[in-house]
Amino acid sequence: MAAEVRLGQTVIYLEDKREKITTRLGCLSVGERYQDFIGDPFMVPVWDCCLCKTAPEVLRKKNGKWLYRCSGCGKEVVGKEKWQGILRWNRKNCFGKTLAEIPFPALQQESSPQSVVDYLDEYFSLKKKEVGLTRQIAQLTGKRPPGKVYQKRVEAFYEWAEL
């Protein structure tokens, strides 16, 4: 009996938390057109090292993670998924890049692209939290959760927005 009460309280807490995030997402709807993304978020070009101007070495570790390492300066990043490792590598090497090289079309159309970047960062951060909470609630209640691929796409969009 006590376990059922705690489970019910946990679900109610998670639903309240998700509702607050959904409300904040609704307030961000003025920028909906900014969410358009050209191409597949998992198809990520690998940028050269900003210091050495060389492409990174790509290794798949025994634990299944992807390692991107510069042979010149030793800079490295690790990602659970290949696209995640590339985006983390790109984040470390984005200093010489322009916003035009990031595939969100709104960045090329707006007069102040930094506001768009801030919007995208907040939007996909909230969306990632909302999907995670929905998956938690579904697991606790036995309902069907949103697809894992959908969750990974949202995470990829968030990583792009972090560049």
Taking the whole predicted model, whether its pTM rises above 0.85 is answered as no
d(CA 108, CA 101): 9
Give the range of the structural domain holding residue 160, as residue numbers without chain letter. 12-37+103-163
Asked whether residue 27 is assigned to any structural domain, the reply reads yes
At 86, the amino acid letter reads: I
Residue that is last in its domain, among 70, 85, 101: 101
- Clarify whether residues 114 and 139 are in a common domain: yes
Across 79-101, average pLDDT: 79
pLDDT tops 60 at residue 106: no
What does the buried/exposed string (b/e) look like for 25-59 if buried means 16 or more CB atoms within 10 Å of the residue's CB?
Answer: eeebeeeeebbebeeebeebeebebbeeeeebeee
Asked whether residue 5 is assigned to any structural domain, the reply reads no
Of the pLDDT bands very low, low, confident and very high (cuts 50, 70, 90), residue 143 is confident
> What average pLDDT is seen over the chain?
78
pLDDT of residue 47: 83
What CATH number does residue 55 fall under?
3.30.160
pLDDT tops 80 at residue 80: yes
Where in the chain does DSSP place strands (E)? Answer: 57-60, 66-69, 76-79
